[in-house]
Amino acid sequence: MPVMEKARAAAARAGTKGVPRRDREEQILAVATEEFGRHGYTGVSMAALARRIGVTKPLLYQYFGSKDGLYTTCLARVGEPLATAVRAAMHRPAAEPATPIAVLRAVFATLEGRPGAWFLLYDQSLPAGSAPYETARRYRDAIDELAAGGAQDVLRAGNIEDPLDADLLKRLWNTLVGQSVVWWARHPEESAASMGERCARILQAVRFGGPAGGEGERRHDGDERRHDGGERHRGEGEG
């Protein structure tokens, strides 16, 4: 059962008396992550969150100190795994899938059952200068730095050294990843594996103008070797 479904099932039970503290914290953090991802920092009150979970508001403060403390803890549970997964995906052996697809699969696997957790890193309602704001920015910067390095590597492989190209590709890539997660959140029936396959098909079609392994790929292989077609650059821009 996905993480958020377990959390909802736990929250539906009457209270949490007799539940070990560690399990209770997991329940609170799972539901809080879902609520913050859906409504944003300012759209969630501690009182409403306590009612949703079936605990008292003082208990939330006892465990996390404040709303900022709760949000920051939720952030750590998504930001750290995401940065670690993306970093690992970008350093796969040469025999493994291409880096763009590997990174997407890593992001989806990390967010399995909780795609809305992604939005905690990009919450525009976080108070500037607050602990959640600074924590979210730190995780965003880490992921952005990885994206920038990946963009440079892709372009360098095609003998493209223009820093403006690298900056644009990084922004295009960040938009692709972010919008893929937005789409996933609207289609929760999709698994991480199916999202990976869907994105792989789409990127392959965009790059080669046809299905994976089809005639389009074989046709454009020659163009890439001659370095004489727009398809080559378009493919790299997409990846």
**199-226: pLDDT as tens digits:** 999 999 988 665 554 444 444 444 443 3
Instruction: Give the pLDDT score at 97.
Output: 62
Residue 40 to residue 49: CA distance in whole angstroms: 13
What residues of the chain score a pLDDT lower than 70? 1-17, 94-98, 208-239
Work out the angle between the directed axes of helices 131-157 and 99-110 (0-180°, nearest 10). Answer: 160
- Count: domains in the chain: 1
Please report, for the domain that includes residue 210, its CATH number. Answer: 1.10.357.10
- C-alpha distances in Å from residue 226, one per residue of 56, 127, 220, 229: 68, 53, 10, 8
Quote the domain boundaries for residue 74: 3-238
AA letter at 177: V
In terms of DSSP H, where are the helices of the chain?
3-12, 21-39, 46-53, 57-64, 67-89, 99-110, 131-157, 163-186, 192-208, 215-226, 230-238
Closest CA to 100 of 158, 146, 141, 136: 146
Q: pTM to 2 decimals?
A: 0.77
